[in-house]
Structure 1
Amino acid sequence: MTVETINPHTGQSEYRHELMDAAAIEAVLAAAGDAAERWAATPLEERGALLRAIGHQLRARRGDLQRIMTAEMGKLGKEALAEIEKCAGACDYYADHAAGYLREEIVETDASRSYVRYEPLGCVLAVMPWNFPIWQVFRFLAPALMAGNVAVLKHASNVPRCADAIALVLRAAGLPEGVFGVLHIDNEQAADVIRDARIAAVTLTGSERAGRSIAANAGDQLKKCVMELGGSDAFVVLEDADLDLTVRQAVAARFANAGQTCIAAKRFVVVEAIADAFVERFVEAAAKLRLGDPQHEATTLAPMARQDLRDELHRQVRASIDQGARALLGCEPDASHAGYPASILDGVAPGMPAYEEELFGPVAAILRVRDEDEAVRVANDTTFGLGGSVWTRDAARGERVARRLRCGVAFVNAIVRSDVRLPFGGIKRSGYGRELAGHGIHEFTNIKSVYVA
């Protein structure tokens, strides 16, 4: 089967490739199976040296990686370069800190000696999305490799060259054959791979629909999985917020990566006393964003990754307007292939798609509330639970409100983001399990108790 990728800005064919057949899939899995035991036995210091070499290669090849990312999924050039540097930083971080995270933990019991150790599981299958086509891979890969696991990647179908470019980086850094492999396969083939005995665990970043399918297949095989799914993060603006800071950060929180971010601020829950002032300034600032060629420095809003995604977003917008939401900015597709302008909906209420669903694109939903307590109630009135942020001049108050948000990641006076030093993940329909920090490296280990009488 031939798969074609389309440039989101031009609408032109970017790349064609064939999905793997059974023999090609077997070759990748066999190589991973052969490498698993050897890599697990590789001293941690050697793994760390290789991870630092990978970080070096990422930085050395950042220009090529940036061009591929921009061509395949439309990412702004400057955002792509920042993403590559973040990946290199994650490699450095785990090279420096894995020994501490994986150190055996002595536990005092009635035994002469008892302790907990962290052992690799084997081969991890990663099913990764297109929106951060390099970072999403390294977010799992850096800790998984340092823990002694090998990995195979099924990347999103519209970023095949990104997947191959990652493999080239790892080979150039000297990673042994079989420790990382790429599978160009469809969803049905992925289900077969999950059933393969050589796959020990699965990690997915993607939609709720993909999560249900992958988790069901992994569960059927009793295999560990981590699910990082969608989000509809609340951006809670209290009446004492610093408007200069809050509006500036609101624009970045909603429209970075064309709004195609699981932890983007999507629902702006604003206390009524400050709502008019916030909305007026938010609209004014968002209107300055310029949609265009993502390779051009003057462009400040990237196109969406695919035309079908743009069309689905517009369906949600139109349905919300039909139910009473007010379009304050944008809310109509751009004439370019997959472009959608910065858009803001006011008067969003329960029952509307903009309230109930994830808007995975550059559309902000304004939800006006009476006070702090109603802000918390509305922020939590969602089936998702990934992130949330609180904006107030009183940091202690912000922290109290952040602790009331039912989500996996809560920030005060800062944009929600993934940080390699902090565990990352969600609750409810946003998934389960954690990535990054020590929690992330432990997810794909056998946490093994040893008791010596």
Structure 2
Amino acid sequence: MNVVNPATGERIATYEEAGDEAVERTLADAERAFESWRERPLAEREELLASAAEVLRENEREYAELMRREMGKPIAQAESEVEKCAWVCDHYAEHAHAYLEDDHHPSPPGTAVKTVHEPLGVVLAVMPWNFPFWQVFRFLAPSLTAGNVGVLKHASNVPGCAEAIEDILLEAGYPEGVFQSLLVPSDRVDDIIADERVRAATLTGSGPAGRAVASAASEHLKKTVLELGGSDPFVVLDDADLAAAAETGAWARNLNGGQSCIAAKRFVVHTDIYDDFLDRFVAEVESLAVGDPTDEATEVGPQASADLLATLHEQVAASVEAGATVRTGGEPMDREGAFYPPTVLTDVPEGCPADTEELFGPVAAVYEVDVEGAGVERANDTEFGLGASVWTEDRDRGERLARRIDAGCVYINQLTKSDPRVPFGGVKESGYGRELSEAGMKEFVNRKTVWIE
């Protein structure tokens, strides 16, 4: 696996892929570790997770630099990602006992009936490059604390991040085998899922990748959780605070170089304030600092690879050819590295890539609608259903619209985000299952009924 710095195009490291022997050894070690790990008192597992949070905070800059080098994340955003990983560790270290406590049920006199929550075993985690630490920690913090063990198949462009995460847990005191990184290409995933020692799988990634994992797992009746793509609407109503909506919207679209499943991608704006919002939004987008991800002031870094940039520009060019108007940006930047400028498209015709596909980069499509109902219709006019954002000064109105939008989460007067305290996941082509909160912790447990006569 060759790692290329997307800001410079230079190869910075090479990692050897795991062969058959390494895969066998990893799965054998995971199975062996599970037998003792599942018996470890929950309080001890919580303490180890709290220790992992300490390791993350003590080495925040080191891990942030690793993300910057491998996938181009601006250094300030990379440091924030490490801190968020420490937060999810803190959260489950504090709340795992409450989340996993027995559920008691009505029963006949003299009996006791309850549901206990027991770990499933070895869980395969197939994770993406865009948030290379956070995506992994939001899986491992609840799943390992529930008593499972994890095997990570990370994206091929962030192998250093994968190995660093394994080292973090070992430094925190986790037993060997409880969490392991396995550097294998995607074509090895089906065989790993089929292995009888693997009991479940989770994936964050594209629709095709999710279907492949779901198909392989279903063949062997194994549990899966899928967090897939998104084309999140950002609905701006006629009574919205336009300054706040434009400022937050620009950030919601361009955070992490626009490379986020829950980024605001389709801006649905009421006709009465459309022109005003568009002027403010374009100005906010153009004010974002694009540049070297080592610079603390940089807000938008490179795309994660030259290939990803090329795909993004093909989608923009096809949309423009179909009739879309470029308000700002729209061409790769004339500089070293995979840089694409924050871009705004309007007059987006039905059926073009900007209308129907997920644009995984800093490109916003803006639509004008004349009534509230049309805004909901436009928001739902997508195969995806991950998140949404609604902007209005009337909180009751915002909640009414939120209930009509087909998505796993809707934020009113806030950008869409994942938070350890609330369930996260999508509907439709955005996947199924939930991560985070109590719901996420119980995805990979056996809810066992125990009847005591």
**TM-score relative to the length of structure 2:** 0.99
1:170 alignment partner AA: L
After superposition, the C-alpha distances for 1:38-59 in whole angstroms (9 at most, x for unaligned) are: 1000000100110000000011
CA distance in 1, matches of 2:313, 2:185: 27
Partner of 1:345: 345
Q: Does 1:110 align with 2:105?
A: no
Following TM superposition, by how much is the alpha carbon of 1:291 offset from its aligned partner in structure 2, in angstroms?
1.7
Partner of 1:127: 126
Partner of 2:224: 225
Q: Please show how residues 12-91 of structure 1 align to structure 2 within 5 Å.
A: 12-91=10-89
After superposition, the C-alpha distances for 1:263-292 in whole angstroms (9 at most, x for unaligned) are: 000000011111111011111111112221
CA distance in 1, matches of 2:147, 2:157: 30
Following TM superposition, by how much is the alpha carbon of 1:348 offset from its aligned partner in structure 2, in angstroms?
1.4
Partner of 1:147: 146
Partner of 2:381: 381
CA distance in 2, matches of 1:89, 1:27: 32
CA distance in 1, matches of 2:225, 2:255: 25
What is the SS of the residue equivalent to 1:133?
coil
Partner of 2:392: 392
After superposition, the C-alpha distances for 1:294-319 in whole angstroms (9 at most, x for unaligned) are: 01123221111011111111111011
2:443 alignment partner AA: E
What is the SS of the residue equivalent to 2:166?
helix
CA distance in 2, matches of 1:428, 1:50: 37
Is the CA contact 1:326–1:346 (under 8 Å) kept in the aligned structure 2? yes
Q: Please show how residues 206-285 of structure 1 align to structure 2 within 5 Å.
A: 206-285=205-284
CA distance in 2, matches of 1:96, 1:17: 37
Partner of 1:423: 423
Following TM superposition, by how much is the alpha carbon of 1:109 offset from its aligned partner in structure 2, in angstroms?
2.3
Which has the higher mean CA deviation after the structures are superposed, 421-430 or 12-21?
12-21
Partner of 1:432: 432
Partner of 2:197: 198
Can you give the 5+ residue segments of structure 1 that lack an aligned partner in the other structure?
A: none
Partner of 1:96: 94
Partner of 1:309: 308
What is the SS of the residue equivalent to 1:345?
strand
Is the CA contact 1:116–1:450 (under 8 Å) kept in the aligned structure 2? yes
2:322 alignment partner AA: Q
Following TM superposition, by how much is the alpha carbon of 1:61 offset from its aligned partner in structure 2, in angstroms?
1.0
CA distance in 2, matches of 1:28, 1:360: 33
Which has the higher mean CA deviation after the structures are superposed, 182-191 or 42-51?
182-191
CA distance in 1, matches of 2:443, 2:212: 20
Is the CA contact 1:231–1:384 (under 8 Å) kept in the aligned structure 2? yes
Following TM superposition, by how much is the alpha carbon of 1:356 offset from its aligned partner in structure 2, in angstroms?
0.5
Following TM superposition, by how much is the alpha carbon of 1:179 offset from its aligned partner in structure 2, in angstroms?
0.3
CA distance in 2, matches of 1:9, 1:88: 27
CA distance in 2, matches of 1:364, 1:332: 14
Is the CA contact 1:349–1:367 (under 8 Å) kept in the aligned structure 2? no
Partner of 1:172: 171
CA distance in 2, matches of 1:343, 1:188: 34
1:403 alignment partner AA: R
CA distance in 2, matches of 1:241, 1:349: 26
Is the CA contact 1:125–1:199 (under 8 Å) kept in the aligned structure 2? yes
Aligned residues: 451
After superposition, the C-alpha distances for 1:372-425 in whole angstroms (9 at most, x for unaligned) are: 100000000100000001001111111111111100010000010001000000
Identity of aligned residues (%): 51
Following TM superposition, by how much is the alpha carbon of 1:371 offset from its aligned partner in structure 2, in angstroms?
1.1
Can you give the 5+ residue segments of structure 2 that lack an aligned partner in the other structure?
A: none
1:433 alignment partner AA: G
